[in-house]
Amino acid sequence: MSLIIAHRGASGYLPEHTLEAAAYAYALGADYIEQDIVLSKDSIPIVMHDIYLDFTTNVKKIFPNRKRKDGHWYVRDFTLSELKKLNVNERLKGDAKEKAFSNRYPLEIGTFKICTLSEQIELIQGLNKSTQRNVGIYPEIKNPSWHRKEGLDISSVTLNQLKDYGYASKKDKIFFQCFDSNELKRVKYELNSSLPLIQLIGNNAWNESDDDYSQMISLEGIEDVSKYAIGIGPYLQLLYRVSTLDGVIRPSKLSHYARDNGLYIHPYTIRKDSIPLDFDDFDKMVKWFASELKADALFTDFVDLTIQAIR
């Protein structure tokens, strides 16, 4: 059965990347829990998907005058003590006025706080102790080149903290991911990390890195990825094609390239409220990726529903 990765924790049910979302994902049966990492002003690894605070916190209300000229409030500009004054809310759309997913956790209810990487690791390791399970972590360093321009080496800081908590080798319950291929190569060859690396693959329009993902998904691109990473993390639509002859959904060339080069396939993101139009319903989508594609792991906002669909 495919490993189940809690995407930003139990983000389908609670505000993403909070300790509550991590604890609920653990309770729902996740095999791994994801942590996106950005650095604070005092260089502390913070669990947050964006380098901005605009879309998942009340920063505009608490620190109305701390935005940059581009109109964004940056995690980088706040110390941990300042970040702890903020409340975390359900993710907003790009205009920061409406929820990204209308039927998810209400904006007006609850008090959730930003957490650090160390706080989330300690929660998961504590639960591993008390439950006798062994749930892993799945950190992603966000925008390493941007952090470097800000004078911060997010890779070194994060790797050092992971090592402090016992995550330093391939045998440890961890995957380490990034969209930036040059940074993953640096992690492996310059920083001499033995962690299992996953190359995330996105869309060039997302500006996640300077990589050309259209080239990365070619045979030559995947052959290069296999030299430094043990797997790929593509978005769902890259892994299948719909036949124009019979309408059957089949694995894409990328899927075959990855398998031929011995790479794990960890696609993102399984959501019941955002199903690709090529699939009739949630269960059929999950079963295709788990049974037809035989994905090694699935990133999902809905851990319980994904497990149920597979079983």
Which residues face 46 on adjacent strands? 38, 116
Query: HSE (CB half, 13 Å, CA atoms) of 229?
Result: 30
CA distance 151 to 214: 30
Beta bridge partners of 39: 45
Which amino acid, residue 16?
Answer: E
What three-state secondary structure class fits 159? helix
Give the CA count within 13 Å in the CB-facing half-sphere of 41: 11
SS3 72: coil
Angle at 200 between CA 125 and CA 212, to 5 degrees: 160
Closest CA to 197 of 141, 130, 133, 118: 141
Q: How far apart are the first and last CA of the chain?
A: 9
Catalytic residues: 7, 49
**Encoding tokens for residue 142?**
């966000």
Question: What is the token pair recorded at 259?
Answer: 């398998």
One-letter identity of residue 7: H
